[in-house]
Structure 1
C-alpha cells in the first residue's frame, strides 16, 4: 500500500479495528450443521463431525453391498454374501447401522435418467401396438437395485427376521432423517407382498402349544396384560380360543394374534372375560364370539395389514366348529377418548340443551345451569368409577364417547386408532359400555368406557364402502347417543 494515500490507509486501519472489536463483542452464531450425503463422503478422504464410518470404511461397505447383487453372482452366492453383511450389522454400532441404511437409500436408488426415458417412451406408446413393451420397460426402470438387494437379504435363513428387525429400528429414525424414507417405503412394499394373507397360516394356540410359543403371547399381549399362568391358561382353554397368523419364514412367531371368548350374549365388561374364577360357558350354549384382544407382534411390519383377514378367518373357523354362533363382535378400548374430550369439552358442553344443563348442574351441586363449565364437567368425570350408568355425568360421558367414535373424523378416517382399525375392516359400532374397564389403564384412556364393534360378515363390504364415503357405520342406539353428545 506504498502508493495509497495516508488518509486512506488510516481510514482502512480504523475501520478494520472497529470491525474486529465489533466481531469480538458480537454473539457467536453457530452455522447450521449439514450432514454430507454418502455421495460426498465416498469421495472424501477424512470423516467429518459426527460421521461414524470413515470414507475408506464406507467405500468398503458399499463394495460389499454391490457384490451381493453383482451381475454374475448367483442367488445362492448372493444370499451367502448378504448373510455375512447381516452378521456384520448385528455387531455394528448404532452409527454404523445408520451409515448402512444411508448407503441403501442413496447408492441403490433407481436410475433417474433411465426412468425418465422409459416413462417418455411409454407415454408416447400409449394406444399403439408398442404399449405393452413400453410398459414392461417402464416397470423394469422403476425397479431399483435396492429391491434386488433386499430380496437377497430375505433369501438366507433368518433373513426375513433380519429385515423385519432392521425396519423396526429404522422406524425410530425416520422423524429425524427424511433421507431414510425411501428405504422404509421399499421395505413396507416388499413386506406387503411377502406377507400377503395368501401366504399366512392360521393356527390355534392352546395350553398344549410349545412353551416358547406361549411365552410369546405373554411378551406381545398389548391390550390386557397377562397377570399369571392361571390367567394365561384361562385365555387358552375351555370357552376361550386364541388364534395367530404365521408365516413360513417365521414358523415359531405369531405375526398377529387374537383372543376370543365364547359367550351367550354381547359382553359389556372386560372383567368377567379375564376372571379365571368365573364359571365357563357350556360351548353348546355359546352364541357370541367376543374378540377382546388383538395384538400385533412385529413393529417392523407396521403398515402391513392382515388384522381384518385374521378376524374374518377366525370367524369362519369358529362358525364351522360351533354352528350356534350368531354374533362376532369385539370388546374394545377407546384409547384416544380422554385426550380428545380434554380438548373438546367446551364444545360438548355448548351442545347441551337447557334440560341437560340443569340436570348436570344439579348433579354437581352448582348454583344453577349458568355455573356449569367444561372444567366442572371434566373434574366430575374424574369420579367416573363411582357413578352409575344412568347418572347425569355418566350419560354425558357416554354421549360424548358415541360422538367421538361415530362422528369425529380426520382426513376421512375415524379419529380413534382402534376405531380406525375395526371400522376400516368393515365392522360397525354396536354399543358403548359404561364401566367396561375399571382398571387404572381403562380410566386413563376413556374413564372406563369400552365399545363393541360388530362384525356382520354379510355387511363388511357395505360398511367399508360407507366409510370410504365419509359415513361411519353405527347402530341406531349409538347414532342417537352421538347426536346428543
Structure 2
C-alpha cells in the first residue's frame, strides 16, 4: 500500500512538472483556460490546466483577481430556468434520472471548476489563499457571496474531521512550524523564542494543533493549555516568567488560555469545537487525575458595549467608572456578567464573539475576574476583565442544544448572581 501511494505521488509530481512546462507555452488567457478545464479537455489534461490556471492567478494583481472572481460569479452560475423546469418535472415524476439532472443543474459550475482546480500538489493551500483574496472583495462586491458560498461548501468537505490530524506542538517541533505558531498567535502575543519556550517546554504546558494532509506544514488552529492546581484568575500569572512549573501529575485543572485560528481562507469553517473536545480526550488519558477543563478567555466586546451604556439610568455610572479605570473589582465583574448574560445581537445571540464560540460548543460561563489581563490590549477591550468557560462534558450536549434552540446562556449560580448584584457605584442623583 505504501509503495503504491509513493509511486502515485511521484508520478503526480512528475506530471505536474511536465505539465507546467507545457502550460507556459499555452497562450490562452485565464478565462479560456478555465472554460477548457470544465470541458472534455479538462477530463484529459486537467492536471496541466489546473497547474497553469493556479500559476496565472498567482501572477494577477488585485484588480485582475477581482475580475476573475466576477467571471466565476457570473459565467459559471446556475441557470434558474433550467432548475425550475427540472424541479417541476421531478415533483411530478421523482425518477432517479430526473433527480440526477436536477442535482446537476442546481450545482453551480463553479463547484466543479474548484474541484478540478484542486488537482496539483499544493492546490489546496492555493485555494485557501485564493479565498483570502475573495473575502477582501466581499464588502464592496456583495454579489460575490455566491462564489464565497461555493468555496465554503467545498472547503468544509475537504477539511472535515476525517481529514484532520491532531498533533502536539512541543519544543522539539520543527522550527518552520514553531515560527508559524508565533506568527499566528492571536490572543496573547508571543514576544520571542524565550516566551515561546515558556509556553511549550515546562511539564505543565501543552499545545495542540490541527493539520490537514494537503497542508502538512500549516497549522489550521491551535490551542495553548496550562495545567494548574486551581482554576486561574489571571493570565498574567499563567504567563509569568517567574512562576514555578508544576509536575503534570499534580495538576487538577486544564486551562485553555489561547485558541488561535491560523488560516483566514478557512473563515467560517469551524475547527474549535472538535479541537477542544479531542484535546480534552487526549489530556484525560495522559493525566487522568484532572478534574476540570476550563478556559481563561478574553471578553473582547465588553468595553464597546459599556460605551453604549453610559447613559443608562441603572448602571450608567458603573459603566463610566469601569471605562475610566476607577471601578472597584465588584463592579467590573458585575458589569461583565451583565454583558455576557444579557447583551444580545438582533438575532438573539450574545454580542461577544468569544462567548458565542464557547457557549455554542456547550460550555458555561463559570467565573469572571477583574484585573486578570493588565496588558494594553486587555485594558482596551475589557478593562482587564477575563472569564472562565467551563467544559463539563456531562452537560455540554444539553448546553449546546439549549443555546442552539433558545439562545440560552448557561452560567454558574455565582455568575447569575453577579449579573443581578447591586452595583457599588450608584447613579448620580438628578440635580434640581
Task: Report the equivalent of 1:264.
Answer: 229
- Quick check: 1:381–1:397 contact (8 Å CA) kept in 2? no
Matches within 5 A, 1:31-430: 60-74=29-43, 77-125=45-93, 130=94, 132-237=96-201, 238-347=203-312, 350-351=313-314, 374=316, 378-379=320-321, 381-384=323-326, 391=328, 394-410=329-345, 411-430=347-366
Cα deviation 1:412-470 (Å, max 9, x = unaligned) = 21110110111111110000011110111111011100000001112111001111212
CA offsets, 1:119-153, max 9 Å, x none? 1122223xxxx355543332222122111110111
**Is contact 1:242-1:260 (8 Å) kept?**
yes
1:90 & 1:132 partners in 2: Cα distance?
41
Name the CA distance, whole Å, in 2 between partners of 1:381 and 1:181. 38
Q: Residues of 2 paired with 1:427 and 1:191: CA distance? A: 27
CA gap 1:318/1:143 in 2 versus in 1, 3 angstroms: same
- Measured in 1, the distance between the counterparts of 2:342 and 2:245 equals 37
Deviations 1:383-431 (A, max 9, x none): 35xx6xxx3xx32221111011012222121110110111111110000
In 2: Cα distance, 1:87 partner to 1:152 partner? 15
8 Å contact 2:366–2:412 — kept in the other structure? Answer: yes
Is the alpha carbon distance of 1:376 and 1:437 closer, same or farther for their aligned partners in structure 2, counting shifts above 3 Å?
closer
Moved more, 279-288 or 447-456: 279-288
Structure 2 segments unaligned to the other structure (5+ residues): 1-27, 424-432
2-side partners of 1:441 and 1:241: how far apart? 24
1:476 maps onto 2:413 in alignment: yes
**1:35-58 alpha-carbon deviations (Å, 9 max, x no partner):** xxxxxxxxxxxxxxxxxxxxxxxx
Tell me the equivalent position of 1:39: none
Shift of 1:165: 0.7
Distance (Å, rounded) in 1 between the aligned partners of 2:319 and 2:221: 39
Q: Secondary structure at 2:187's aligned position in 1? A: coil
SS of residue in 1 equivalent to 2:103? helix
Report the RMSD for the aligned CA atoms in angstroms: 1.8
Separation (CA, whole Å) in 1 of partners of 2:137 and 2:41 = 35
SS of alignment partner, residue 413 of structure 1:
coil
CA deviations on 1:56-115 (whole Å, 9 max, x unpaired) are: xxx94322111012125326x213211111111111121111111111111111122221
1:346: Cα distance to partner?
2.5
User: Between Structure 1 and Structure 2, whose CA radius of gyration is higher?
Assistant: 1
- Match of 1:261, SS state, is strand
**C-alpha contact 1:68 1:79 (8 A) present in aligned 2:** no
Q: 1:451 aligns with which of 387, 399, 420?
A: 387
Partner Cα distance (1:131, 1:382) in 2: 68
Q: Please give the secondary structure, in 2, of the residue aligned with 1:466.
A: helix
Indicate the SS of the match to 2:170: coil
TM-score, scaled to structure 1: 0.78
Say if 2:297 and 2:387, in contact at 8 Å, map to a contact too: yes
SS class of match (2:207): strand
SS across alignment from 2:210? strand
Structure 1 stretches lacking a partner, 5+ long: 1-58, 353-373
| Number of equivalenced pairs | 393
| Counterpart residue number, 2:374 | 438
Q: Distance in 2 between matches of 1:80 and 1:180?
A: 27
Cα distance in structure 1, aligned partners of 2:207 and 2:74: 43
Contact 2:359/2:400, CA 8 A, preserved across alignment: yes
Q: What SS does the aligned partner of 1:418 have? A: helix
Secondary structure of 2:33's aligned partner? helix
- Alignment TM-score, normalising by the size of structure 2: 0.87
Q: How far apart are the structure 2 equivalents of 1:61 and 1:233?
A: 46
Q: Which secondary structure state, in structure 2, belongs to the residue aligned with residue 245 of structure 1?
A: strand
